[in-house]
Structure 1
Amino acid sequence: MTFVLAVDDDAAILRTLTINLRARGYDVETARDGRSALLVVGERMPDVVLLDLGLPDLDGIQVLTRLRSFGKVPVIVVSARTEPDDKVEALDLGADDFVTKPFSIDELLARIRVITRRAETRDDQSFVVRVEDLTLDVTEARAARGAEEIHLTPTEWRIVETLARRPGRLVRQSELLHAVWGPGYSRQTNYLRVHLASIRRKIETDPGAPRIFVTEPGIGYRFAPWSEPSSQG
């Protein structure tokens, strides 16, 4: 069953979307602000996000940027904004489609079908990393060492994906915090220490001398599975 997250501060629109989507067999969850939407995504990745731009807390563009920082979930912007610049910005930031309010529910449903079919056939975007007997399937959020499954939390997966998609490159602490927790979290470096320690305990063969997720002390982190072991930090 396709899981759709509808994000809009208009209760009437959310009610209309919920009724029509559920009547056609979709699993639907709603959020009336950006932070609530990101909490939903942190717990369960949707198959499609319907995203309004005019949200009461985080702007829809901020939510879109956050979504794109850690996932390829299809996003259809559904907005009353009609300026070409708004549409161009949303599409440039990774929105898959843009629907202007007021909209036809039949047209929106058709666009959802197109987007989900496209996502199902994007085999070229699957991203799997193998390091010796360790497999990290970033696309499917699955990890295993040999035949043994490894459980990572949604937040840990966001960290893993942010680093793994930039192999060998330094990702600064502030950049990683922004990608995983969002704007306003540029100084909470203790968050990174705690979560990286947990990731290393689960993934590294020797967490005390990590060679997959490497620390550049005081600067940031690298995904560098070919590196020499380093001291934990």
Structure 2
Amino acid sequence: MRRADRLFQIVQHLRGGRLLTAQMLAERLEVTKRTVYRDVADLIGSGVPIEGEAGVGYVMRAGYDLPPLMFSSDEIVALVAGARMIRAWGGTSMAAAAEEALVKIEAVLPEDARARAVAVPVHAFQMNDMTDDVRARIDRIEAAADQRIRLDLEYGDKNGESSRRVIRPLGLWFWGKVWTVVGWCELRNDFRMFRLDRIKGMEEVGPFRVEKGQSLRDFYASVDRGPRR
């Protein structure tokens, strides 16, 4: 969790006059008590009215709230439309996070902006191709790319013939109907893109380092070489 997100969560947990110990906050945020002590001290130093001390607990005086996020009308449309699309077409965790984001966006907006968010005329509906398996696959590959974990794929081509590929996943692309993963293919020693709906099996096979010539930036620089198989 990013530090900014953690500070926001601490304020959220302390809202409403609830007394929480550093141990309770540490367990909820999955950090050490030392981290909580430091974060609370920084919040107090920035003017957040938190009272208490280590070993006793912390409470925030009533009446304090975070200032509302100020989005332009176009920004609200973009945020709401994007969250709705991910809710319909993203991975299982992505979809749940998008739903929660929509709730939070509406909660922090002023009344007029909240009405604009509700009225955004952009909607997305789940496609038949978005099975639970594909949704779970999206989450697994996104996590593997983020954590730099090599993946051993059983992959079927357009003719249904299977092959094994070990890839170093770099990112996911959504093409309006089909999700693909781009990665460095250890078999071809080059970049390749794989459709998620054609992946028949997938196993994690250890970490990797992004080496020179194999990064996402290198992939973008190579897209003019033509199609790869």
For normalisation by structure 2, the TM-score amounts to: 0.31
- If you compute each CA radius of gyration, which structure gives the higher value, 1 or 2? 2
For normalisation by structure 1, the TM-score amounts to: 0.30
